[in-house]
Chains A and B, each alone.
Chain A
Amino acid sequence: MTETIFRTEGLTKVYDTGTVKIHALAGVDLELFSGELAVLLGPSGSGKSTLLNILGGLDHATAGRVWFRDLELTGLGDRGLTRFRRDHVGFVFQFYNLVASLTARENVQLVTDVSPNPMNPAEALELVGLGHRMDHFPAEMSGGEQQRVAIARAIAKRPEVLLCDEPTGALDSKTGVQVLEALRDVNERFGTTTAVITHNAAIRKMAHRVIRFQDGRISAVEVNKTRIAPAEIEW
């Protein structure tokens, strides 16, 4: 767990809304390590999503630098970022973002179609325990099932990093646990570096490290000596 996957240096993001300038990120220095599962905690508006978006190549920073291994993301254009996302990153969003007109299997296929070394879509769905719902459309599935399809879609390309923005935000405790189990499973089985944003402080107990945010800055980093299984989390 020594290799650095992501490194940021003085990362800043300013939103200019015309009247006021919002410092969503105000100088973040952070490292994420190979194979770790990090949980990002912090009040609403503290900059968690902004950070994750920049790490994942969805957004540009205003100042500061970001590296993925030796690749400096802050030096890439849109084309380069697209390539980076395609080859290295898996995303899971709070609202699943499934394509309504595609079945579970096809939603996963959307990713495997364009990645160099993907899993079989069926295999990815088996991993999240949805082998039996492969040909169902999103509208025919519960929120938790949809989120697990989204996880299957994210891991199907065998990404090196998995970035999850409030993956359980819209779920109840039971389905939330299923989703977290799927995430931990992937993390352990493939050594995928995983970052999970959550508002549920209890979830921090399953992480290797917990990174706390406050006003666009990292306010604390804790290392968990012992981790608990998702099923033991008190919601």
Chain B
Amino acid sequence: MDALDRKLLRDFRRLWAQALAIALVLACGVAILMTTFGMYQALNETRAAYYERNRFADLFAQTRRAPLTLMPEIRAIEGVYAVEPRVTGAAILTIPGRAENAVGRILSLPASGPPTLNEPILRSGRYPDPGAANEVMVNEPFARANGFALGDTFEANLNGSLRPLTITGTFLSPEFIYTIGPGALMPDNEGFGILMMPEPAVAAAFDMSGAFNSVSLKLTASARPEAVKDALDRILEPYGGLGAYDRIRQESHAFIDAEIKQLRSMSVILPPIFFGISAFLVNMVIGRIVMLERSEIGLMKAIGYSDTTVLTHYVLLAVLIAVGGLAVGWPMGSWLTFLLARLYAQFFDFPFLIFTMSYEPYVVSGVLALLTAALGAAQSALRAARMPPAVAMLPPAPPRFRRSMTDRLLQFLRLSQPVMMILRSLMRWPLRSFLNALGLALAVAILVSSSFFTDAMEEIIDSAFYQSNRQDAILLLSGDIKETALEEVRRLPGVMQAEGQLSALAILRNGHLSKHVPIEARRAGADLARIVDGDGHPREAPGHGILLAERLAAQLDLQPGETVEIEFLTGRRETVEVTVAGTVPQYFGLGAYMDFEALNALFRQTPQITMAHVTLDSAADTEFHAAVQDLPKLVSTIMLTDTRSGFQDTIEQNIGYMTTIYIVIASLITIGVAYNGARIQLSERARELASLRILGFSRGEVSFILVGETMLLALLAQPLGWLIGAGIAKAAVEGFTSDLYRIPLVLKPDTFAKASIVVLIAALVAALVVRRRLDNLDLVAAMKTRE
């Protein structure tokens, strides 16, 4: 080994603590990049491959009932590559050994064999016999959650007739990577299943012979989706078409897409913070070393080492730090990716593994980590390379301290000598002090924004699950039912309160802007399902006109007092114009509300409902579930109590994980910045501090200077960190608003306090570790060092 290489390794070993502190910050960046980028890539590619292989459709449309004779016309639309009609329906299922009903979504299988679009993957067993009326295949997660084996039987209420169904196989489908029941807020594989049955049996049960109510289209590469959508809508309009939609509004696709987008933006936003801080720390450390090694650099040059060799020598030192970062970051990233993949496996059903860690995340994060370190070292290494050999022989000129206004102020304040030393040193390197403070501020900001997300999430949950929806269950009813049917619901065993709701799917239009939403109408004074605004105050739908969620009004560019065109997609499918009576700030969903009487009057009907909200006596659970099945026209029951506790558990667990991870990350950043800052300070001032000791200052007084400077910087960093954190929160509020939800800007005082406490403690620990070195300072050696 060359002597220069040996020097490199020895220097690195001597620097281990500082290198480790930097490597850990870098490792966070590497791990987060690997996890987000790796997972983004894995999800994206797995999904693309799955869609491709199983021909996931591009366009979808539902209708009330359309004749199959429309098929040639639909096929003839320009840009349509393939079309597949089918019959879909819903069924209440009675699962042996389960008290509550499950809900099944029924899809017809073509008589000719497997579907050509959205082809399911058979996971076990076989397709149902095309002629059989009682055979189904079910989605694998549903079978697994309920412990079904092939050949098992359960009972289904198919459009009013109870029928035993035998499971012949299990499948996964590109349409149901993410499966969520109607109206549910969380996936529930036990309570919601996808059932595929031969077309003749489904058509017979739902009175759809020779007809279809759902159609999927695959487009050619050159097709214009909007034009196809319009053409399809025109064809289906007379048959109760509910409007064609593309993948973005397909539920499963939309959820995965949101996740993929979030991963992508995280992979772009978060890692640069860590890489930036690492580069700054590398810059500080290498800069100090180059300063200390001037005479060594001069010597290397005097004996004939080239500029390039010198440059490489110092860059390599930084590269070793990066290698350390990768040694920690790669396994950490692999582990986090594995955890995340496991989490995704709970929510997403893919036929193949998502956790196929490719080499790419390793390569990308590796290259970026090395570049970060090299860039961080570049400035100082170049300075070393450019030092003329003769000048490098001289000791560095002592830093110039100038008397300034602030100095006079300091004198005026009659500060003690140590305090003066701290302040002077901060002002001697203003840029460095600022960057140090910025690093610490970012740690604070990370904590502030992470607990902001937690608080915001809790507020959304509280508003959506507890304030707006206080019912225990929702009974979804098919077709319009007279409000008087509520009496029947009230008589069900265990039902304590029941309130009706009329929901009408409609397209709201204002000029060229339009939005598909359900309009909800409840009687005034409804207590179970309520309209609650952002401040938690309940609101009533106005007697006239329509009340819109603020986000919906904004998307349609509507102000209160203006008129909105409503095209109802159910009932008589009329188009009416209604005044916007007001807007209500809401976090969840795109709500549109009308008065119960007013909406029924618009439909020119005696009051009707499409769903009932109920509260239940938990003691009569079993009786309720047994009885509710016999309710005519019941489509499904949504148990909110289960959803709430399930959701709460999941959220709390995830929040627990995230909070821990963020605290670790913020502490690592703080320690990385504070430790290196203090070490460099100690190195620059060893002589000065030793002189103070020799002059009779105590260990405590001397270390006060060192710890004091670090802590003063940390304190100064707090307001900056709060500001940045609040800024991130604000940006998130603006950036994350989607159709699904809006994030409330919740910034509690204890969010800031907790963030500051974590960072100040971590900074103090770092400073005290360096203080121990100071305590062991060899006075003689420190005075001997030439400088």
A residues touching B (Cβ–Cβ < 8 Å)?
53, 56, 58-59, 78-79, 82-83, 85-87, 89-91, 93, 95, 97, 99-102, 106-107, 109-111, 113-115, 153, 157
Contacts of A114 in B (CB 8 A): 303-305
Q: Which chain B residue shows the least CB distance to A139? A: B781
A213 to chain B, nearest CB (A): 18
Interface assignment of B400: CB less than 8 Å from any CB of chain A? no
* A153 to B299 Cα, complex, angstroms: 11
For B4, B299, B307, which residue has the most chain A Cβ atoms within 10 angstroms? B299
B residues touching A (Cβ–Cβ < 8 Å)?
2-4, 6-7, 10-11, 14, 295-296, 298-307, 388-390, 393, 786
A101 touches B14 (CB 8 A): yes
* A91 to B11 Cα, complex, angstroms: 24
B783 to chain A, nearest CB (A): 14
B303 touches A93 (CB 8 A): no
Contacts of B296 in A (CB 8 A): 97, 99-100
Partner of B10, one of A90, A101, A113: A101
30 pairs, CB–CB < 8 Å, chain A vs chain B? A58-B388, A58-B389, A59-B389, A79-B306, A82-B301, A82-B304, A83-B304, A85-B303, A85-B304, A86-B304, A90-B303, A95-B295, A97-B295, A97-B298, A97-B299, A97-B393, A99-B7, A99-B299, A101-B7, A101-B14, A102-B6, A102-B10, A106-B3, A106-B6, A110-B4, A110-B7, A110-B300, A110-B303, A113-B4, A153-B303
Q: Which chain A residue shows the least CB distance to B395? A: A95
Contacts of A102 in B (CB 8 A): 3, 6-7, 10
Q: Which chain B residue shows the least CB distance to A91? A: B302
* A86 to B7 Cα, complex, angstroms: 19
Given the known inter-chain contacts A83-B304, A85-B304, A97-B296, please indicate yes or no for A59 contacting B388, CB distance below 8 A: yes
Partner of A82, one of B11, B306, B786: B306
* A79 to B14 Cα, complex, angstroms: 32
A145 to chain B, nearest CB (A): 15
Q: Which chain A residue shows the least CB distance to B296? A: A99
A115 touches B304 (CB 8 A): yes
A95 touches B14 (CB 8 A): no
Contacts of A100 in B (CB 8 A): 296
Contacts of A59 in B (CB 8 A): 388-390
B3 touches A109 (CB 8 A): yes
Q: Which chain B residue shows the least CB distance to A106? A: B3
B19 to chain A, nearest CB (A): 14
Contacts of A115 in B (CB 8 A): 304
* A78 to B388 Cα, complex, angstroms: 9
State the 3 A-B residue pairs at the shortest beta-carbon distance, nearest first: A86-B304, A109-B3, A101-B10
B298 to chain A, nearest CB (A): 7
B782 to chain A, nearest CB (A): 13
B87 to chain A, nearest CB (A): 79
A115 to chain B, nearest CB (A): 7
B316 to chain A, nearest CB (A): 14
Contacts of A79 in B (CB 8 A): 306
A48 to chain B, nearest CB (A): 13
For B11, B300, B304, which residue has the most chain A Cβ atoms within 10 angstroms? B304
Contacts of A56 in B (CB 8 A): 302
A62 to chain B, nearest CB (A): 13
Contacts of A53 in B (CB 8 A): 390, 393
A1 to chain B, nearest CB (A): 27
* A58 to B298 Cα, complex, angstroms: 9
B8 to chain A, nearest CB (A): 9
A91 touches B303 (CB 8 A): yes
Given contacts A106-B6, A109-B3, 14 further A-B contacts (CB under 8 A): A82-B301, A83-B304, A90-B303, A91-B303, A93-B393, A97-B393, A99-B3, A99-B296, A101-B11, A106-B3, A113-B3, A114-B304, A115-B304, A157-B303
B295 touches A58 (CB 8 A): no
Contacts of B305 in A (CB 8 A): 82, 86, 114
* A228 to B348 Cα, complex, angstroms: 93
Contacts of A107 in B (CB 8 A): 3
Q: Which chain A residue shows the least CB distance to B306? A: A82
For B2, B10, B393, which residue has the most chain A Cβ atoms within 10 angstroms? B393
A106 to chain B, nearest CB (A): 5
B387 to chain A, nearest CB (A): 11
Partner of B390, one of A58, A101, A110, A153: A58
Q: Which chain B residue shows the least CB distance to A97? A: B299
Contacts of A86 in B (CB 8 A): 303-305
A58 touches B3 (CB 8 A): no
A113 touches B2 (CB 8 A): yes
B389 touches A95 (CB 8 A): no
B14 touches A85 (CB 8 A): no
* A79 to B11 Cα, complex, angstroms: 27
* A95 to B14 Cα, complex, angstroms: 23
* A235 to B4 Cα, complex, angstroms: 38
Contacts of A89 in B (CB 8 A): 302
Contacts of A90 in B (CB 8 A): 303
A95 touches B6 (CB 8 A): no
A99 to chain B, nearest CB (A): 5
A171 to chain B, nearest CB (A): 15
A114 to chain B, nearest CB (A): 6
Q: Which chain A residue shows the least CB distance to B388? A: A59
Contacts of B302 in A (CB 8 A): 56, 58, 85, 89, 91
* A78 to B389 Cα, complex, angstroms: 10
